[in-house]
Structure 1
Amino acid sequence: MKIYFKALLTLFLSKNSIVHSSIGLGILLLGFHFPIFSQGQLKIDAENQHITVFLNRAQIDARVKTNVQAGTTKLIISNVATTADPNSIQIGGKGDVMIMSVKFKQNYLGNKRRSTLEDSLKLAKSELEVVDVLVKVAENERNMLMANANVKSEKDGATPEDLKEMMDFFRTKLTEIGTRQMQLLRQSKDLQDKINRFQQQLTSQGTNINQPAGEIELTLQAKSATAIELNLSYIANNVGWSPIYDIRAKDVKSNIELAYRANVYQNTGIDWKNVRLSLSTANPAEGGAKPELYAQYLNINEPVETPKRNVRMSKGVMPVEMAMSAAPQAMDEVITVASVVNTVQSTLAVNFDIAIPYNIASGGNPEMVDIQNHSLRSTYKYYTVPKFDKDAFLTAIITDWEKYNLLPGVANVYFEGTFVGTTEIAGGEAKDSLMISLGRDKKIIAKRETVEEFKSRKNVGSNIRESFGARITLRNTKTEAINIVVEDQVPVSQDSRIEIELEEAKGAEFNKETGKLTWNLTLQPLENKEIILKYSVKYPKGKNIQGL
C-alpha cells in the first residue's frame, strides 16, 4: 500500500524511538504491524531540487529515490548541508515503510571536497618525489662519467684517434644527461607549482573546507521489499544574498535604466549543482515576534547617607529590540536574463523564482544573479556647493521610486557609457524622490570668493556686530540650457546671546534651523550669473565665538 508521510524531525532521537506521523499513527491504530527483520544499511546522496535563498539562510528542498529490503533499514542520506538546522528538517514521501527514528549528524570523514583536494595534493607530491630522485640519478651519472673521463685522460700513450673517440662519447653522453636533467627540472617546477595551487586552494576555502559532511540517518521498517521516494526539506545557515544595482543613464533626456541583481553566497559544505533558485526578501534571522513594550520607570538618583556608605537606588528601563520586516519588491518590465524571473509577492515578502538552473560552489565567490530590470522616469538637475567644491554635479531625480520597494544596497553608476562611481540606495526611506549622483561636469564653472568690502566690525552697546559677505559666480559653457541648484549656508546660533541676521540672499530658500540656503536657477548656454550673500552676527563683547 502507498503511504504519504510527513514528520517534523528533531536532532538525536534514539535509534529505537518512533517518529509518529499522522498517517503512521493511523496505521498502528488499524492494527497493521511491521515484522522485525534483520537490519541493513544503505547510503544515498540527496538530490537538491529547489533552493529558496533568504537574505540570511536558505531553505533546501531535496529528493531521495531508492529501494529498501524487508525489515529494518538504516538509510544514510548524504549531500546534506553541514550547516542544516536539525529542528527545521521535514520529510515527506511515498512508500510502504514506517519511519522509526531520525538523526542529523556530522561525518568528519565524509568531506568529499577536502578529500579530493588532499588526494590530488598527495599525488602531486608523490610525483615530485619521483622526479627529484631521477634528477639525483642523472647528477650521479654525470659525476661518474666525469670521473671516468679523468681516469681515461691520465692513461699513457693515448692516440689522437682514442682521444677523438673519447670526446665524441663523452659529448653524446653529457648531452643526453643534460637534456634529461633539464626536462626533469621543468617537470619538478611544474609539479611544485601544482602543489602550491592545491595548498592555496585548501587555504582559500578557510574553515569551509574543514567542515564535516552533513548526514541524515533514517531508520525505516518495511514489511517487504519496496521502492520509496522521499522529499527532504530543511533550513541551512551560512547562506544569503544581498542586492546590487547597475544604474545607467544614456543622456540627460533619457530614462534611468536600473538593473536589479543579487550576490548569492553559500558556505553550507555542499556544492549546489544545477539547482532551481528562488530569492526571497524575507529574513528568518530577524525573527517574526512582535516586540513588547514594558513600563518605563523614571526616578531621581539621590544619595542616601548611612553610617557606613552611600546607597543609590534607581529603576532601569527594560530594553526593547525592534524587528524589521523585509520590504516587498515589485517587478517592472524586464529585458535581459531577468526575463526568466517570475516574481511572487506575498503578504510579508517577495520571491523571485529564477527559471535558469545555477551552480554555486560552497565557499566560492558569490554568484551574480539577475533579478529585474526597471526603466525609471527621471529628471536631471545640477547641484553645486561652491563653498567646498568648484565643480557642478549632475544628478538624476527619480520620483515615485518607493513603489519599487528597493532593498538597501550599492549601485554602480554609468553615464553616457562611462562608469562614474558608486552610490548607496537606502530602501524603505520615507522620501518621495530618490537622488542619484552621476558625477562631475567640468563645463559648469562655480566660484565663491569672500568680498572684503562686505566685512565690518562695529560696537553696538554691550555687543559687537560683525558683517560678512561672499560673491558666487556661475558660468555655463555648455551649448544647452541647464537647471542648477546652488547651496550655501549661514551660521546657526545655539545661544540666545548670539544673533544671526541674513541681510542679502536674493532668490534663495532659507532654512532657519539649519542655516541652509538654496537657489534654483536656470543657466542659458554661455550665460554668467552672480549671487551675493550677506549676513551679520551680533554677540556680547569680550566673548570668543566658536565656529565664527
Structure 2
Amino acid sequence: MKKTILLVFLVSAIGFAQKPIFGTAKINAATVYSNSTEISQNVAIMLPKGNSEIVIKNVSSYLNESSMQIGAPANVTVLSVQFTTDYIAEYDIDESNPAIKKVRDSIVWIQKEIQKIGIQKVSNTKTIELLDKNQQVSGVNSGLNMVDLMKMVDYYGLKRTEISNTIIALDEKEKKLSKQLTSLNDKLQINTKNEDKTSNGKLILQVMNEVAGNTDFELSYLSYGATWQPFYELRATSITDPMQLMYKAKVTQNTGIDWKKVKLTLSSGNPNQNNQAPSVNPWFLQTQNTLFSPAPIPEANEDKLEAVVVESYGAARSKKALASSVSNYTSINENQLNITFDIAIPYDILSNGKSHSVALKELKIPASFRYYAVPKTEKEAFLLADIVDYSKYNLLTGEANIIFEGMYVGKTQINTSQTTDTLSLSMGRDKKISINREKVADKSGTKFLSSKKEQTFTYDITVRNNKKESVALLLKDQYPLSTDKEIEIELIESDKAKVNTETGILSWELNLKPNETKKIRISYKLKYPKDKVFVNL
C-alpha cells in the first residue's frame, strides 16, 4: 500500500458530478502524548473505475491537517483531500445505514398505500355519480312498471350505501397511514441527526481508480483534545518488606470520536513542540547608569541526608502472580527522545473528557527505608524510601498514592527531574514515632550589655519510638547564621550533633529501640547592637 502525505489540500481542481461515496472510518490505534494524540484509522470503500468523490466520516473534529497521511493501494491515486466539520449536501445522509434504510422503505410503502387509497376513493366516487345519474334518467324515461321501478330503487339504495361506507373506511385508513407517514418522517429526521452527530469531522477525498472493487484506505493524523499523565501507587507493608510500585496513567480524550477496542500507546514525547535547534549569536555587554543591586547570596547546599537504613529487597513473585500481572501486557521502549508504553490490551475510551485509569506496569523496586524528622518545622517523623539508580525504571514525574501497612496515608510527588542518582520518596508520616521540641525557659533569656543585646535560646527535642520494632531516625535542627560582622552567633550546646558550620544544620543519627525515648538539647547565643531588629528570629 502506498502512502500519500497531504499538506492541507483545501480545494479540489477537479469537479465530480456523481453522487459521493460514503464510508465510516474505524479507529485502530492511538498514540497519546501529553497534549495531543496520533490516531490511526482504516475504512473499506467499494469504488467504481474512474474518478470518484469519497466522504469519510467518524474523523476527529480537531484534526491537524498538516499531519494528515492517507494510505491507498497502488491502483488508487488520491488527487486531493479536504477536512471539514460542516459537510452539507443533498446526499449528506448515508442511505446504507440500516436504521435509515428501514425508515425509508417504510415511507415508500405507506406512500404507495396512500396512492392506492386515492385511486379507490376516486373510483367509488365516480360510481356514485354514475348511479345518481342513472337514477335520474330511469325516473324520467323509464317506461318501467311499478314493480321493476321498486327493485331498481332498492338496488340503488343498497349499492350507494355500500360505496359510501367504503369511502368512509378508505378515509379513515388514509388518515391512519398519513399519521404513520408523519411519524416516520419525524423518525427519519431524528436518525439523520444522530447520523450527523456520530461524525463531526469528515474527509472529502477526490480519487482516481484504475480497477473497480473494494478499496482499503489507511488514515493517520495528529489530533488535539487528548492527554495522559502518569501517576503511581506505592505500597509498603513495613520497612522490612519489599516496596511495590504500580505504574498507572490517567488518559483523557475529547477528540470528537469514541475509541472502541483501541490499541493504546502512551508517549512522553511532544510532537507539537518547536524542533528547531537554537543558534548562538555574539554577546555584547551593555552598560546603564543606574546602580546595580548586590547579587543575592546563594543558598548553601544542605548536607546529604545520611542515616542508618534497613535494606529491603523484594522476594521473587510466584509464577501464578506473574501470569496475571498487567506488566505482561505492557512493553516499555526508551529511545534518545522519549519513552513509550505499548499496551496490548485494547481499551474503550469515550470522547467525554473524563479520566480513564490505565494500568501500565507493576514494579518491585529495591529500596532503602529511613525515618527523617525536622521538628523545628514538623513535629512528626516521615518515612523515606531511597531508590538508587532510579533512571533504569523509566519513571516520569507524577503524583503517587501511598499505602503503608495496609492503610492509605496520603499523596506524594515523584520528581524525576532531579540531578542526584538517588530518588527519595516520602512515604508519609508515621504517628507511632512521637517528637516534641520545646524551649527551655530557665536556660533561655535576654541580657543587655551597654550598647549590645545578648539572647540565649535553648531547646529540648524529645523523640520516642512507640513501634514494636527498632527504627533508625535521621533528626535535623539548625541554628541561625549571620553575614553581618556586628552580629555574633555562638553554638553553645549541640549534644554530639554533626554540625555543618556553613549551613547551620545539626544532624543526629538515632537508633531507637521499641518504646525507647531519647532527649537532645541544643543551645545558641546571639550578641548584636541594641538598635537591630530581626524579622525571622
TM-score of the superposition, structure 2-length normalised? 0.69
What aligned pairs does 1:7-22 form with structure 2 within 5 A after superposition?
7-16=4-13
The change in CA–CA distance for 1:258 and 1:37 in structure 2 (over 3 A counts) is closer
Question: Displacement, 1:499?
Answer: 2.4
SS at structure 2 position matched to 1:403: helix
The equivalent position to 2:427 in structure 1, one of 435, 438, 443, is 438
Q: Answer whether contact 2:499 2:507 (CA < 8 A) is retained.
A: yes
The change in CA–CA distance for 1:96 and 1:442 in structure 2 (over 3 A counts) is closer
The change in CA–CA distance for 1:440 and 1:351 in structure 2 (over 3 A counts) is closer
The change in CA–CA distance for 1:362 and 1:546 in structure 2 (over 3 A counts) is same
Q: Distance in 1 between matches of 2:454 and 2:247?
A: 56
Q: Distance in 1 between matches of 2:422 and 2:368?
A: 10
Q: Deviations over 1:385-427 (max 9, x none)?
A: 3334433233322222233231111100001111000011112
The change in CA–CA distance for 1:105 and 1:424 in structure 2 (over 3 A counts) is same
Give the equivalent residue in structure 2 for 1:501.
Answer: 490
Counterpart AA for 1:541:
K
Q: Answer whether contact 1:413 1:419 (CA < 8 A) is retained.
A: yes
Q: Distance in 2 between matches of 1:389 and 1:532?
A: 17
What aligned pairs does 1:83-102 form with structure 2 within 5 A after superposition?
83-102=62-81
Give the equivalent residue in structure 2 for 1:131.
Answer: none
What aligned pairs does 1:458-497 form with structure 2 within 5 A after superposition?
458=447, 462-497=451-486
Alignment of 1:289 with 2:276, yes or no, is yes
Q: Distance in 1 between matches of 2:88 and 2:326?
A: 40
Alignment of 1:268 with 2:247, yes or no, is no
Counterpart AA for 2:53:
K
Q: Answer whether contact 1:406 1:428 (CA < 8 A) is retained.
A: no
Alignment of 1:521 with 2:510, yes or no, is yes
Alignment of 1:341 with 2:338, yes or no, is no
Q: Distance in 2 between matches of 1:256 and 1:248?
A: 6
Q: Answer whether contact 2:47 2:215 (CA < 8 A) is retained.
A: yes
SS at structure 2 position matched to 1:286: coil
SS at structure 2 position matched to 1:390: strand
Greater mean alpha carbon deviation, residues 535-544 or residues 272-281: 535-544
Q: Distance in 2 between matches of 1:37 and 1:281?
A: 44
Q: Deviations over 1:86-136 (max 9, x none)?
A: 010011121522222111111277999xxxxxxxxxxxxxxxxxxxxxxxx
Q: Distance in 2 between matches of 1:53 and 1:109?
A: 31
Q: Distance in 2 between matches of 1:496 and 1:264?
A: 58
Greater mean alpha carbon deviation, residues 453-462 or residues 270-279: 453-462
Alignment of 1:414 with 2:365, yes or no, is no
Q: Deviations over 1:259-315 (max 9, x none)?
A: 001111111100011111111111123333323344444433349xxxxxxxxxxxx
Q: Distance in 2 between matches of 1:217 and 1:378?
A: 57
Question: Displacement, 1:37?
Answer: 8.8
SS at structure 1 position matched to 2:327: helix
Q: Distance in 2 between matches of 1:388 and 1:346?
A: 42
Give the equivalent residue in structure 2 for 1:184.
Answer: none
Give the equivalent residue in structure 2 for 1:215.
Answer: 202
Give the equivalent residue in structure 2 for 1:367.
Answer: 356
Question: Displacement, 1:356?
Answer: 1.0
Q: Deviations over 1:479-501 (max 9, x none)?
A: 32111121212122243322222
Q: Distance in 2 between matches of 1:222 and 1:526?
A: 85
Question: Displacement, 1:38?
Answer: 6.0
Q: Answer whether contact 2:379 2:435 (CA < 8 A) is retained.
A: yes
Counterpart AA for 1:446:
I
Q: Distance in 2 between matches of 1:295 and 1:451?
A: 61
Question: Displacement, 1:59?
Answer: 0.9
Question: Displacement, 1:460?
Answer: 5.6
SS at structure 2 position matched to 1:284: coil
Give the equivalent residue in structure 2 for 1:379.
Answer: 368
Give the equivalent residue in structure 2 for 1:279.
Answer: 266
Alignment of 1:538 with 2:522, yes or no, is no
The change in CA–CA distance for 1:543 and 1:510 in structure 2 (over 3 A counts) is same
Counterpart AA for 2:244:
E
Give the equivalent residue in structure 2 for 1:117.
Answer: none
Question: Displacement, 1:46?
Answer: 1.0
Q: Distance in 1 between matches of 2:508 and 2:72?
A: 69
Q: Deviations over 1:157-200 (max 9, x none)?
A: xxxxxxxxxxxxxxxxxxxxxxxxxxxxxxxxxxxxxxxxxxxx
The change in CA–CA distance for 1:342 and 1:85 in structure 2 (over 3 A counts) is same
Question: Displacement, 1:465?
Answer: 2.8
Question: Displacement, 1:210?
Answer: 9.1
Q: Distance in 1 between matches of 2:373 and 2:12?
A: 73
Counterpart AA for 2:257:
I
SS at structure 1 position matched to 2:207: strand
Q: Distance in 1 between matches of 2:209 and 2:434?
A: 84
The change in CA–CA distance for 1:287 and 1:458 in structure 2 (over 3 A counts) is same
SS at structure 2 position matched to 1:283: coil
Question: Displacement, 1:50?
Answer: 1.4
SS at structure 1 position matched to 2:29: strand
The change in CA–CA distance for 1:492 and 1:373 in structure 2 (over 3 A counts) is same
Could you list the runs of 5+ residues in structure 2 that have no partner in the other structure?
94-195, 291-315
Question: Displacement, 1:228?
Answer: 1.7
Q: Distance in 2 between matches of 1:497 and 1:108?
A: 80
SS at structure 2 position matched to 1:86: strand
SS at structure 1 position matched to 2:361: strand
Q: Distance in 2 between matches of 1:401 and 1:224?
A: 57
Q: Distance in 2 between matches of 1:453 and 1:37?
A: 99
Q: Distance in 1 between matches of 2:361 and 2:414?
A: 16
Whose Rg is larger?
A: 2
Give the equivalent residue in structure 1 for 2:37.
Answer: 58
The change in CA–CA distance for 1:359 and 1:211 in structure 2 (over 3 A counts) is closer
Q: Distance in 2 between matches of 1:48 and 1:444?
A: 55
Q: Answer whether contact 1:96 1:228 (CA < 8 A) is retained.
A: no
Q: Answer whether contact 2:412 2:427 (CA < 8 A) is retained.
A: no
SS at structure 2 position matched to 1:15: coil
Give the equivalent residue in structure 2 for 1:244.
Answer: 231
Counterpart AA for 1:262:
A
Give % identity.
37
Greater mean alpha carbon deviation, residues 209-218 or residues 334-343: 209-218
The change in CA–CA distance for 1:414 and 1:283 in structure 2 (over 3 A counts) is same
Q: Distance in 1 between matches of 2:57 and 2:201?
A: 6
Q: Answer whether contact 1:107 1:213 (CA < 8 A) is retained.
A: yes
Greater mean alpha carbon deviation, residues 532-541 or residues 417-426: 532-541
What aligned pairs does 1:37-116 form with structure 2 within 5 A after superposition?
39-107=18-86
The change in CA–CA distance for 1:499 and 1:297 in structure 2 (over 3 A counts) is farther
- How many equivalent residue pairs? 403
Q: Distance in 2 between matches of 1:107 and 1:62?
A: 21
Give the equivalent residue in structure 2 for 1:134.
Answer: none
